Structure 1
Amino acid sequence: MMKKNVNRRNFIQTASLAAAGFYVMPFFASCKSDTSTRHPETVNKMDKDFIADLDLQLTALPSQTSIYPNSSTKTYSYKASIIKGSEDNLQNIEGSYLGPVIRVKKGDKVRVRYENQIPAESIVHWHGLHVSHENDGHPEHVISEGETYYYEFEVMNRAGTYWFHPHPHKHTGEQVYKGLAGLFIVSDKEEGKLNLPQGEYDIPVVIQDRTFNDNKQLQYLGDGEMDRMQGFLGEQILINGKIDNTLNLGANGKYRLRLLNGSNSRAYKLAWDNGEPITVFGVDGGLLEAPKKLPYLILGPAQRVDVWLDLSQQSENSRIKLVHLPIPLDMMGGGMMNGGMMGNSSSNHLPYDTQFDILEIKVGAFAENNAQLPGELSSFNTLAATDAINKDNPRTFTFAMGGMMEWTINGRTYNGTEVAEEETVKLDTTEIWRINNGNQFSSDSDDDSGMMGGGMHGNGGMMGGQGGMGNMMQMPHPVHIHQLQFNILNRDADKVDDKLWEATKDGFINEGWQDSVYLLPGMQMDLIMRFEDYKGLFLYHCHNLEHEDMGMMRNFKIV
């Protein structure tokens, strides 16, 4: 890996060039472009030999949604219809801009005829699903308005809560923000043997933050470059695409809440306002081996959890709230990103370091069901570190701010089908990937004076830790790896700020199969994964969608 040191002189030189728009990041010799993976003219054909159990028409189109009473908000929406299959395969969320909930069984063969009718290039990524390169929704497969892309795949995942959303480079954040997202729920025989909540007791809960202008229209990146650098943070919480965050549930009922953090960049510290622990029994890749009780839950962007809610002890007409508890993540204030280099902020976004409501449960009339949460949910073998071919030398990926104010992975940004040597893996192997949220700038001088010392990097300096740009650069990064589910081997928080770690340490779930993790500033994690079934080009990236759109995304290639 090439590492670029930035000393006082070359930092000033390159910063000046960048400000003038003349600086170009150096080309990495270890990278190569694999144009063989590019889809022929991006538009593919339907395979007549593929016999689908479920055949769907899915269309992305501009829409008008009544988010506020007596007003109409311009949005984008996924609309779906069944060509072949059961009505049970599709569940619409009434009055919402969000796409339908698609429900399938493990082993189902699915065809989706995706038609793009929005005035921009787009493609659909099936988040968390184990599919081939052609079905993963790579940005190189984007289609234009009026074109159709055919997805044809067998559902190979365990029962779990997955989702789908756009994945065009540089425009994912905007398209998701305008409404393009939906849940993809998988069931299987193992889960079917359990007496978990079903039907009206199995409830999707998509959490998003949004900002509206005076005309009740969605406002995206209102603070311009500052919103891009930190990731969009909204002023209001929406549940399932609605400003009404109330769920009317029945007394004595037992419910499965499928929580998805569908926000562009915001993480949540979720807790019940009555002090009861939050009980989680599933994560990204399906059921845990056993339920886990937490005082609160840290839910990063793109992460999903299954939460057990038992209202048997709640009386009719009582109320419970799911709230966000304070996290010391409001690092942007007072520095160069707030009223300094990037201009004055006009945002009134919900601050991280205050408590606010997420969801309100209104307990209504008696609605008992016989669902149960067993102590043992699932039996599966996690991947063993001893089986990793690189157990003594994990691949390392650093998510950080690059020398020219770019969000990078190992100093690189997304560049089409480009793949570095360290991003090429072998089929049918198990590996450990070490991801870290590291320091962004390095100096070749030990001098602590001047701009790189007390002036630029030191406390109170330009890059320093007291209100300077250094705060902005030390941001969490929600990391997502396409095409597979992994296990977490460890989470090293030695370099995480003590106050931040103390406020979050009891809310992480390290068990089970996952595809997205929330990487705090200074945190390092070892993930173990297996590459199987499919060769091809896949993505890994920061799921802060603004960071992703700025290029904090790379390919890995299975050969």
Structure 2
Amino acid sequence: MTTIINNARRRFIVQSGLGMLALSGMPSFLQAMEGMTVMPRIPPRKANPNFKADVEFDLYCRPSKVAILTGAETEVLQYSAVLKKGPKQTLSNIPGSYLGPIIRLQKGQKVRIVLHNGLSESSVTHWHGLHVPAEMDGHPMYAIDPGATLVYEFEVLNRAGMNIYHPHPHEATASQVYHGLAGALFVHDEEEAKLELPSGEHEIPIVIQDRLFDEQNQLIYARNKHDRMAGFYGDHILVNGRPDFKIDVASRAYRLRILNGSNARIYKLAWDDGTPITVIGVDGGLLEQPEVKAYVMLAPGERLDIWADFSGRSVGSQLVMRSLAFTGVLPKMAQRMGNMMHTNQLPVGSDYPIFTVRVTKSVSDSPKLPAQLSSYPRYHINDVANPEKPVPIAISESPMAMLLNGRTYADNDVQDFERIKLNTLQLIEIFHASGGMGMGHKGGGSMGMMGGMMSMAHPIHLHGQQFEIISRSVSSDKADDYETVRHGFIETGLKDTVLVMPGESVRIIKPFQDFKGVFMYHCHNLEHEDMGMMRDFSVE
């Protein structure tokens, strides 16, 4: 599916005694990138007495302390929840983790969630992957002040899949997520239930993150401009909030539900003994048929549903999930600077372990992998409203800003092509633009000296309904780097986040159905998002 084209915040404030990055110590150009826009505020939404909820719970975000490393507890921000109505399995905590409770919903349920902001700054929660009305989506304009509450009410329209909930306040998403505010949200439906896939103790959520700690086990964040320009990277890999994560399994099949919860780090997942990875689902749920890969790429905000069969493995054996070596996602200059400044002890694109699986029990029975998993609408170019004029999402970088379509984020700044007619399918092209600061044009080899020096990979997330990838192409001058990742992309299934490599162009078809209003699209490298690499679609 991939072709080679031949082309010649103003603040990081104290959130709960977690520490402060003094603004006076920030480079002047970084200060200019922070606080560039003022977000209008919508009064907090109250409960609709006519909305009859099947499920209702309170969701709290507040400071906490959790033991992560040996020694002192780490100060974090944490989601917690209290179920008020609905099945008891709706909420379940991950023991010993700072991550929020796992939320499990059924397609068709009507849900009311009351968000309580216990932070010292404004916040709002986004339901990453869910198809909900615009006012329920967690747009920054709906952020609430400390001590306030916000009511979400929506019907679950999604098919079965793994989604995410996390903060989305203007210019503060990255720091709030980094300090702990994130969780997994699963939707289940009848199609999934009929497959009888591994469940209960045999279905394991795996949230991969990287974090940096000081000598007192406290989180370090945003020390210098390099941390923000390339995205922030830690030197400890955490799974479900724990280092050196190990899973004890029986000799049978399991379902691993994997989420990249890192702010910026991209992973190239593979088993250490060369066992192929069997993928049965991605962001938007199950694939039609399983896909077998030697490795799989996973960018921030992306999810994988993996069938892992340990049948035939002896008790005492181990298998390690690693991130293998790859190149091209960061500017070489940025990587060299990181090494010289000793700011990155776990370089992006290096080889390192993620978690270990230990076989501790032998069993004789195991479920069989279904040959046919699911069905979903397939989108075709003949069905889109704009087959000859794709909606552009042009990526450009410079030392001063990260841009989409030549602009940083601003309220009420919707361009004509960002106005989308309701109930249409749209062809969208995401590409690296030449020309640095401007909108530019497609191109990988003609970006100019500064564009080439700054070019990096960007995971682009589109709010609202999930899309299908139609094609990928990459410029010839980026082909060598691209070869280290190209076989790890899952190009079927429904997606809401797609990794766009330097010099690459990705075409997608996305539906804009059911709901009018403003829906965001942005880079899910969260530092880039906070720097303004974010725009709005207005569905009208």
Which string of whole-angstrom CA distances, capped at 9 and with x for unpartnered residues, describes residues 391-410 of structure 1? 011111111115x6210011
Paired residue total: 506
What's the CA shift for 1:313? 1.9
Give, in whole Å, the separation in 2 of the partners of 1:106 and 1:187: 6
Which moved further from structure 2: 146-155 or 351-360? 351-360
Q: Find runs of 4+ consecutive structure 1 residues off by over 4 angstroms.
A: 18-25, 330-337, 469-472
Q: What are the Cα deviations for residues 345-372 of structure 1, in whole angstroms up to 9, with x where unaligned?
A: 2413311342100110011123565422
| Aligned equivalent of 2:157 | 156
**Are the counterparts in 2 of residues 437 and 477 from structure 1 also a CA contact under 8 Å?**
no
Cα distance between partner residues in 2 of 1:24 and 1:484? 30
Q: Which residue in 1 is equivalent to 2:510?
A: 529
| Alignment partners' CA distance in 2, 1:255 and 1:397 | 38
> Residue 301 of structure 1: SS of its match in structure 2?
coil
Label 1:420 to 1:84 Cα distance change in 2 as closer, same or farther (>3 A).
same
Please state if 1:373 is matched with 2:369.
yes
SS of the residue corresponding to residue 298 of structure 1 reads strand
Q: Which position in structure 1 is the counterpart of 2:188?
A: 187
Mapped partners of 2:217, 2:452: distance in 1? 33
Partner of 2:426: 431
Partner in structure 2 of residue 539 of structure 1: 520
- State how 1:412-427 maps to structure 2 within 5 Å: 412-427=407-422
Residue type at the aligned position of 2:234: G
CA distance in 2, matches of 1:553, 1:350: 28
- Verify the 8 A CA contact 2:59 2:79 in the aligned structure 1: yes
The match for 2:495 is: 514
- What are the residue-to-residue correspondences of 1:247-396 with 2, within 5 Å? 247-250=247-250, 252-329=251-328, 331-332=330-331, 338=337, 345-367=341-363, 370-396=366-392
Contact kept, 8 Å, 2:210 with 2:233, in 1: the verdict is: yes
Query: Deviations along 1:220-260, whole A, 9 cap, x unmatched?
Result: 123x111100001110100001113111112x221000000
- C-alpha distance in 1, partners of 2:345/2:418? 37
Q: How does 1:473-512 map to 2 (within 5 A)?
A: 473-495=454-476, 497-512=478-493
What is the CA-CA distance between 1:416 and the residue it aligns to?
Answer: 2.3
1:291-345: CA deviation from partner (whole Å, max 9, x where unpaired)? 0000100111100010111010211010000001101147556569828xxx962
Once the two structures are TM-superposed, the CA of residue 178 in structure 1 deviates from its matched residue by: 0.3
Residue in structure 1 matched with residue 54 of structure 2 by the alignment: 53
- Which residue does 2:12 correspond to in 1? none
SS state at 2:242 partner: coil
Q: Quick one: which amino acid aligns to residue 377 of structure 2?
A: N
| Structure 1 unaligned spans of 5+ | 1-17, 28-32, 444-456
| Equivalent in the alignment of 2:436 | 441
Query: Which residue is equivalent to 2:246?
Result: 246
| Alignment check: 8 A CA contact 2:328 2:502 kept | no
Q: Secondary structure at the match of 1:493?
A: strand
Map of 2:9 onto structure 1: none
Following the alignment from structure 1 to structure 2, what is the Cα–Cα distance between the partners of residues 263 and 374? 31
**Residue by residue, what CA displacement relative to the aligned partner does 1:18-61 show, whole Å, maximum 9, x if unpaired?**
96899899x9xxxxx9x9xx6642x1111111111110110000
Q: Distance in 1 between matches of 2:303 and 2:415?
A: 30
Moved more, 327-336 or 280-289: 327-336
Matches within 5 A, 1:26-37: none
| Pairing of 1:83-102 with structure 2 (within 5 A) | 83-102=84-103
- Equivalent position amino acid for 1:175 in 2: Q
Distance of aligned partners of 1:214 and 1:367 in 2 relative to their CA distance in 1, 3 Å threshold: farther
Distance 1:369 1:82, change over 3 A: farther
Query: Conserved in 2, the CA contact under 8 Å of 1:100 and 1:182?
Result: yes
Q: 1:365 to 1:124 in 2, by over 3 A?
A: same
User: How many angstroms apart in 2 are the aligned matches of 1:44 and 1:519?
Assistant: 36
- TM-score w.r.t. the length of structure 1 is 0.86
SS in structure 1 of the partner of residue 482 of structure 2 = helix
Q: Quick one: which amino acid aligns to residue 74 of structure 2?
A: T
Q: Is the contact between residue 267 and residue 301 of structure 1 (CA under 8 Å) also seen in structure 2?
A: yes
Q: Secondary structure of 1:192's match? A: helix
Q: What is the rounded CA distance, in whole Å, between the counterparts of 2:379 and 2:451 in structure 1?
A: 37
Go from structure 1 to structure 2 and tell me whether the alpha carbon gap of 1:119 and 1:315 turns closer, same or farther (over 3 Å shift): same
Deviation at 1:70, TM superposition (A): 3.2
Q: Residue deviations 1:72-114, cap 9 Å, x none?
A: 0000000011000122111100100000100011001111000
Letter in 2 for 1:112: I
Shift of 1:471: 5.3
**Paired letter, 1:257:** L
- 1:180-259 aligned at under 5 Å gives the runs 180-222=181-223, 224-250=224-250, 252-259=251-258
5+ residue gaps, structure 2 = 1-26, 439-444
- Corresponding residue for residue 141 of structure 1: 142
Residue 378 and residue 331 in structure 1: after superposition, are their counterparts in 2 closer, same or farther (change >3 A)? closer
1:405 matched to 2:410: no
Distance 1:552 1:442 in 2: 12
Shift of 1:496: 5.8
State percent identity of aligned pairs: 42
SS in 1 for 2:204: strand
Equivalent residue runs for 1:447-462 within 5 Å: none
Summarize deviations over 1:397-441 as a string: whole Å, max 9, x none.
111115x62100111111124311111000011110001023343
**Is contact 1:195–1:373 with CA below 8 Å preserved after alignment?**
no
Change (3 A) 1:442 1:97: closer
CA RMSD for the aligned pairs?
2.5
CA contact (8 A) 1:270 1:297 kept: yes
TM-score (normalizing by structure 2): 0.89
Please report how far the alpha carbon of residue 175 of structure 1 lies from its aligned counterpart in structure 2 after TM superposition. Answer: 0.3
Say whether the 8 Å CA contact 2:434–2:446 is kept in structure 1.
Answer: no
1:442 Cα deviation after fit = 8.2
Structure 2 match to 1:128:
129
1:556 maps to which residue? 537
Question: What amino acid is the match of 1:155?
Answer: V
Q: Which amino acid aligns with 1:201?
A: H
Equivalent residue runs for 1:78-117 within 5 Å: 78-117=79-118
Change (3 A) 1:24 1:70: closer
Cα shift at 1:69: 2.7
Q: Using the alignment, how far apart are the partners of 1:442 and 1:106 within structure 2?
A: 43
Rg bigger for which structure?
A: 1
Letter in 2 for 1:419: V
> 3-state DSSP class of the match of 2:484?
helix
